[in-house]
Amino acid sequence: MPTMHIELFEGRSPEKKRELVEALTKETCRVLECEPGAVDIILTDVKRENWATGGVMWSERD
């Protein structure tokens, strides 16, 4: 059973998250030839103050 862990900035609507997990599940099943019930997706919302790229906190970017 594939399990995906996805971290993303907080603030996305439940509808957008639902759309994402539906698309990921569909494509995973196509590629791996498995049933949707075998696919687990864990979404983790992260505050911008807890994420940095290139040595710069996202909460400090323009």
pLDDT tens per residue across span 11-53: 999 999 999 999 999 999 999 999 999 999 999 999 999 999 9
CATH superfamily of the 3-60 domain: Macrophage Migration Inhibitory Factor (3.30.429.10)
Question: What ranges do the domains of the chain cover?
Answer: 3-60
Q: What are the residue numbers of the active site? A: 2
Token pair listed for 56: 């710069």
The pLDDT of residue 20? 98
Query: What pLDDT score does 56 carry?
Result: 97
The pLDDT of residue 1 is: 85
Region for residue 55 given its phi and psi (left: phi exceeds 0; alpha: psi -120 to 50; beta: otherwise): left
- Per-residue model confidence (pLDDT) at position 27: 98
- How many Cβ atoms sit within 10 Å of the Cβ of residue 61? 10
pLDDT of residue 62: 73
**Distance from C-alpha of 35 to C-alpha of 17, rounded to nearest angstrom:** 20
Please report the pLDDT score of residue 52 as a whole number. Answer: 97
